[in-house]
A and B are shown apart, each in its own frame.
Chain A
């Protein structure tokens, strides 16, 4: 008895199309199979460099996203007379929508462009939205990085010139020891899974440091439970142990970092804490002069760095001829970590001192004794030829567990320094960069630096986001106060390279530093999981002034789905799904490069847009053209680009630069990579190539790229960087010291306001140090003894997937996970209802006992809980009735303190949202309380244009109904 398994209806129309997944930010290559025009199967593209054919749970559920009843299909306007937030809309045409926006935005651009604010979520098109903001002339633009992981980006970029995820990662192909900090799931998701599996099967040892053993930590050989926010103490103690025992790579530190450079310690001098420089003529005017000095062991004299034949001291204290006391940077580091002993860190982290010492020894001895040597000749930036590339097989990875704390920047600096001490930067078996990284420290883009640069009808000078190198790069007014609505690049958060989207609404509502008029939110769920203090932020969105006007006068929301935020819009723009659009993963933004060279990718529409949905990219190109923004029009003001695909093909960063949004198939017939004339057939060539383009660098350019002459020249030629100077690692950060000197009144130019001097002086320490998270310093720790945090489940991407009929069956609601001893001590039952309460707010939720949770931590899956009725779920759906959002416990601002009444609850250096600093107490819910999560909100009703929810569904693609 056999089934007819070959049953294929030969009359079916089958098509298979290449594109790129967008069920999360990982961006795997996919082949979408259509049967009679419906999605039958989404297959991982086996030839794709990123995912090599595999696909995760989210990627495999794309069908349910495509056909979700939460899809928005019509432009909507808030009904005349309806209150904002009442979720009452009427359909309008795109023409009307564009007219409304054009009129409003034209007026703002003519009068006061900063009154237009554009903030976007995990949209992967920052190069385009940033270009729009720059050309509009508003500084009030950022993407989601401020509330995501900007500490991870800046902490590493300001130290080693690159970072994790798209920018670089652990070389698990050749590593033998892999230590992962604070990572549950990652947005470099499938590649990391592929690599961890390969690593483990080839005998690698995997250690996970995390308060919770979930996600990848489950398969770690050793789990090191740690108290949240204390990773910095652990890393500094490891640094202490590595230096004390001599388990560091001396040659690497001397040649490739600033460890041996001498620092001026004359306290009277304005140069205190800066590198001593020779100021030789040949270096004058250089962006990165190489005129620092070493104290040579062999001649016992000062020499210029990298003098052939010299061997500098890393330790010691010296006196220059003019009497200036100096120390090598490494000695400063050794001094700094002297008291950071494993015993000290044990009390803070909860990790036994013996474990900390052993971890340091495992790292140091593996790095020292298991050296890798590859027969690859290369030439360094000083012109010296090397026969081979060497490496130490110890690799690291880290994510939001380190980043989402107000001490995260220094923690991540400490991690970067441990990685550097072990000699693992851009070497086999360690950390490897991905193009366009490494970048100079810091990278070149700079924002406007004074309010008078913001003028009507004038594009921004510089870029809306950038990397300050110096206090004078800050964007502040004459009083030293912030001039962006999110206060980025101000003295409150000087290195906030990704902006502070988490404070945009609160500040706009408070009209601090000024009122805005129009807030355009793209794909960012700011009325729910992307805001701290969610319940209050929802009130701010509808709050009015005395005259009855909304404090934020006009809100435009563009999204493909009915998120919680859509209900707060005055104008709703329906975006398409990822299967209905052109899109680029651009070298100008966050490409999908591999260790061995640049890779970028595209999305191609495999289906027509649903209803009247329109890709946001088209909205941007259309608005840019209508408003006559210089990048989008010809000199005579006529429209330059037909549509977004035309824009991608023909836009160049400068006339005839040959550099555009896509690096592949450039040149008239697609024969050039990286740089070349526009190619009218570029999209088709990407399609044929599997929707990506890969440039594999010559082997000799694949390693040591911070100092690799060939690579740096190649990168400059191709426009990836402006400079070929070596990118030496900043063990000691002179950039941070400049801000500290300014706070001390010793640096020329911009000065912090008095209330912030001490803050800047304290936190702009040129060497990493450990401090308690800011909020913890200001609240009663005894009253709130526990840390609360979220982890990202592998089967859901933030708030995106509760509308997905398959994925919501994997995570239908979320529990609060509590160590069983902690829960019992609080009298809370397994499965019982409980309260978690912070200084700021409280939530009622269900408890799940956990043995894989550190006893001082409680946690839940991120963003599974939803507002009733949102995402077109019914008001009774478990997500809203049993699920909950941790955000209600988290304040977006610190308690009043000497720095101000309204300082963001963020890292004082980078502006990273300190999600995981929140401290709580827990207690059981009363027996008579409702068995429903709290807080609850008035259920949202469906909006016009959404399809009906099915009561049951037997999905079968393209059933031939002949």
Chain B
């Protein structure tokens, strides 16, 4: 069975928010998921509906600090707690590909699903009073008039660092499954038992190891000048031990 999902590579995400507004522009005018309300768009405390948000936080103490950009949206859980709590059947998991969707016509805005979601991924549209969230741009995925490579969520297509991989996490040969396997992909709060389909790839750091003898070279250009390379004032010499 197919389970579509996003795999988000924190190792390359620079926190540019492309996914946030690319999602907004596609979905607000989407016949499937639009529109997405903005309250006070030009006044104090603007507050709108977004399916995707990026949180930025610091880890560690100066100077050993990491700045993490963390994009978050509906994780399309395999055992989605928002589905069974929905009294009208509006929240549902699409059988053919596991996308969690909300049928706005049935949603009564009771908010049970958002209480059930441990990730805070749902947003109640303040004007339409229905629950909205990431659909993985289902109207792009399903649109056979689009070229194949465009049948992806808008955020995936536009992400400048290609930090958002998209595919079937149940297909062991898919790009996303390979990334999860080889790069230590993980789920958010697995202890909740929701089996989120979306995964995150952790940071890793590349280092260069310099061996001291790499500074000693027969072809050191200083030799051409009649100079011997300076071993540096910190190199060991008899000065370390001799006494007079």
Binding site for B on A (CB under 8 A): 1-9, 35, 40-44, 46, 51, 53-61, 63, 69, 177, 185, 189-190, 193-194, 196-197, 200-201, 203-206, 213-219, 221-223, 225, 244-248, 250, 297, 311, 313-316, 358, 361-362, 365-366, 368-369, 794-795, 803, 805-810, 812, 819-821, 850-855, 872-874, 876-878, 881, 949-958
From B163, which residue of chain A is reached at the shortest CB distance?
A197
- Give the distance to chain B from A122, nearest Cβ to Cβ, in Å: 19
| Contacting residues, chain A, for B66 (C-beta < 8 A) | 213, 218
Given contacts A60-B24, A225-B63, contact A794 B14 (CB under 8 A): yes
Q: Does B142 contact A (CB under 8 A)?
A: yes
Q: Are B42 and A803 in contact (CB under 8 A)?
A: yes
Q: How far is the CA of A950 from the CA of B14 in the complex (A)?
A: 32
Do the beta carbons of A806 and B31 come within 8 Å of each other? no
Q: A57-B21, A809-B46, A873-B43 are known contacts. Are A219 and B14 too (CB-CB below 8 A)? A: yes
| Residues on the A chain within 8 Å of B65, using CB | 213, 223, 851-852
Q: Which of these, A190, A218, A365, contacts B67 with CB under 8 Å?
A: A218
Count the A-B residue pairs with Cβ separation under 8 angstroms: how many?
A: 278
Please state if A955 and B29 are interface contacts (CB–CB under 8 Å). yes
Instruction: List 30 A–B pairs whose Cβ atoms lie within 8 Å, in order of A's numbering.
Output: A1-B92, A40-B29, A54-B158, A56-B16, A56-B17, A57-B18, A61-B24, A193-B14, A200-B11, A201-B11, A214-B67, A219-B11, A221-B206, A221-B207, A225-B63, A245-B229, A248-B221, A314-B225, A315-B227, A365-B215, A794-B17, A809-B50, A852-B62, A872-B42, A877-B43, A954-B28, A954-B36, A954-B38, A955-B38, A958-B29
Taken residue by residue from 163 to 207, chain B's Cβ proximity to chain A (1 for < 8 Å, 0 otherwise) reads as 100000000000000000000000000000000000000010111
Interchain nearest-CB distance for A954 vs B (Å) = 4
CA distance A873 to B45 in the complex (A): 11
Whether a CB of chain A sits under 8 angstroms from the CB of B2 is no
Q: Smallest CB-CB separation from B50: which chain A residue?
A: A809
Q: Do B158 and A246 touch across chains, with their CB atoms under 8 A apart? A: no
B87, CB-defined interface residue at 8 Å: no
The answer for the CA separation of A54 and B225 in the assembled complex, in Å, is 51
Quick check: B214 and A245 within 8 Å, CB to CB?
A: no
Given A3-B32, A362-B208, are A8 and B14 neighbors across the interface (CB < 8 Å)?
no
Q: Which residues of A contact B60 (CB under 8 A)?
A: 851
| Given A3-B101, A194-B160, A205-B206; A200-B37 close (CB under 8 Å) | no
Tell me, in angstroms, the Cα distance from A951 to B126 when the chains sit together. Answer: 13
Which of A56, A806, A812 gathers the greatest number of chain B CB atoms within 10 Å?
A806
B87-126 contact mask (Cβ, 8 Å, vs A): 1 or 0: 0010010100000010100000000000000000000001
Query: Across the interface, do B207 and A244 meet the contact criterion of CB distance under 8 Å?
Result: no
**Contact call A956/B58, Cβ cutoff below 8 A:** no
Partner pick for A223 among B63, B142, B220, B221, CB 8 A cutoff = B63
Q: Which residues of B contact A216 (CB under 8 A)?
A: 14
- Cβ contact within 8 Å between A874 and B21: no
What secondary structure prevails in chain B residues at the interface with A?
loop
A41→B29 contact, CB < 8 A: yes
Are B37 and A244 within 8 A (Cβ)?
no
With A56-B160, A852-B58 already in contact, 8 other A-B pairs whose C-beta atoms are closer than 8 Å: A365-B214, A369-B214, A795-B20, A806-B38, A808-B46, A810-B21, A949-B43, A954-B38
Residues of B near A214 (CB, < 8 A) are: 67
Contact of A206 with B221 in the complex, beta carbons under 8 Å: no
Are B62 and A952 within 8 A (Cβ)?
no
- Bound-state CA distance A59–B220 (Å) is 50
List of B residues within 8 angstroms of A194 by Cβ: 160-162
Residue of B nearest to A176 (CB): B208
Contact mask for chain B residues 205-244; partner A; CB cutoff 8 A; 1 contact, 0 none: 1111010001101001111111101101000000000000
Q: Which residues of B contact A953 (CB under 8 A)?
A: 37-38, 41
Whether the Cβ atoms of B40 and A952 lie closer than 8 Å is yes
**Which B1-49 residues have C-beta < 8 A from chain A?**
11-18, 20-22, 24-26, 28-29, 31-32, 34-48
The interface residues of chain A lying within 8 Å CB-to-CB of B214 are 361, 365, 369
CB distance from B241 to the nearest CB of A (A): 23
When A6-B143, A821-B62, A850-B58 are in contact, do A250 and B38 touch as well, CB less than 8 Å? no
Please report the total number of B residues contacting A with Cβ < 8 Å: 87
Given contacts A190-B160, A954-B35, contact A878 B62 (CB under 8 A): no
| Given A7-B139, A246-B217, A365-B210: A805 and B41 interface contact (C-beta under 8 Å) | yes
- Asked if A245 and B230 make an inter-chain contact with CB atoms under 8 angstroms apart, the answer reads yes
Distance from B231 Cβ to chain A, minimum over Cβ atoms (Å)? 9
Q: Which residues of A contact B85 (CB under 8 A)?
A: none
A835 to chain B, nearest CB (A): 23
The answer to whether A949 and B41 have CB atoms under 8 Å apart is: yes
Contact assessment for B17 and A57 in the assembled complex, using a CB-CB cutoff below 8 Å: yes
Q: State the CA gap A810–B139 with chains docked (Å).
A: 26
CB distance from B160 to the nearest CB of A (A): 4
Complex contact B208–A809 (CB within 8 A): no
Contacts A213-B67, A365-B210 hold; do A949 and B42 have CB atoms under 8 A apart?
Answer: yes
Q: Which of B158, B207, B215 contacts A44 (CB 8 A)?
A: B158
In the complex, chain B residues whose CB is within 8 Å of the CB of A854? 62-63
**B61 contacts the other chain (CB 8 A):** yes
Residue contact A874 to B208, C-beta cutoff 8 Å: no
A5–B225 touching, CB < 8 Å: no
Q: Which residues of B contact A855 (CB under 8 A)?
A: 62
How far, in Å, is B90 (CB) from chain A's closest CB?
8
Q: Taking each of A63, A197, A214, A244, which has the highest tally of chain B beta carbons within 10 Å of its own beta carbon? A: A197
With both chains docked as a complex, state the minimum distance between the C-beta of A396 and any C-beta of chain B, in angstroms: 16
Give CA–CA (A55, B64) in the complex, Å: 32
Whether A952 contacts B14 by the Cβ 8 Å rule is: no
Q: Are B62 and A225 in contact (CB under 8 A)?
A: yes
Top 3 nearest A-B pairs by Cβ distance?
A250-B221, A193-B160, A197-B161
B135-161 CB mask vs A (1 if < 8 Å, else 0) is: 000110111000001000010011111
The answer on a CB contact under 8 Å between B68 and A246 is: no
Closest to B39 in A: A952
Distance between Cα atoms of A318 and B81 in the complex (Å): 83
B44–A874 CB distance below 8 A: yes
Given contacts A5-B139, A810-B17, contact A952 B67 (CB under 8 A): no
- Residues of A within 8 Å of B28, CB to CB, are 954-956
CB distance from A399 to the nearest CB of B (A): 15
Nearest-Cβ distance from residue A176 to partner chain B, whole angstroms: 8
A917→B43 CA distance, assembly (Å): 34
Pick from A7, A246, A311, A808 the residue with the most CB of B within 10 Å.
A246
| Distance of A374 Cα from B39 Cα, bound (Å) | 57
* B72 at interface by CB-CB < 8 Å: no
Residue from B44, B127, B141, B203 within 8 A of A876 (CB atoms): B44
Kindly name the residue among B22, B94, B157 whose own CB sees the greatest number of chain A CB atoms within 10 A. Answer: B22
B67 — which chain A residues lie within 8 A by C-beta?
213-214, 217-218, 852
Interface centre among B11, B56, B158 (most CB of A within 10 A): B158
CB pair A5 B62 closer than 8 Å = no
Alpha-carbon gap, A63 to B45, bound state (A): 21
Q: Which residue of B lies closest to A247 (CB)?
A: B215
Contacts of A61 in B (CB 8 A): 21, 24-25
Closest to A58 in B: B21
Give Cα A250–Cα B224 distance, bound, in whole angstroms: 9
Other-chain contact of B20, A204, A223, A368, A810 (Cβ < 8 Å): A810
How far, in whole Å, are A369 and B211 apart by their CA atoms in the complex?
13
Chain B residues contacting A803 (CB-CB under 8 Å) are 42
Complex contact A951–B20 (CB within 8 A): no
- B94 → chain A closest CB, angstroms: 6
Q: By the criterion CB–CB under 8 Å, are A358 and B162 in contact? A: no
Given known A6-B139, A7-B139, contact A246–B16 (CB-CB < 8 A): no
In angstroms, how far is the closest chain B Cβ from the Cβ of A757? 37
A9 CA to B31 CA, complexed, in Å = 8
- In the bound complex, CA of A369 to CA of B39 (Å): 58
B230 touches A200 (CB 8 A): no
Give the chain B neighbours of A955 by CB distance below 8 A: 28-29, 35-36, 38
A55 and B18 within 8 A (CB): yes
List of A residues within 8 angstroms of B227 by Cβ: 315
Q: Which of A2, A177, A807, A878 contacts B45 (CB 8 A)?
A: A878
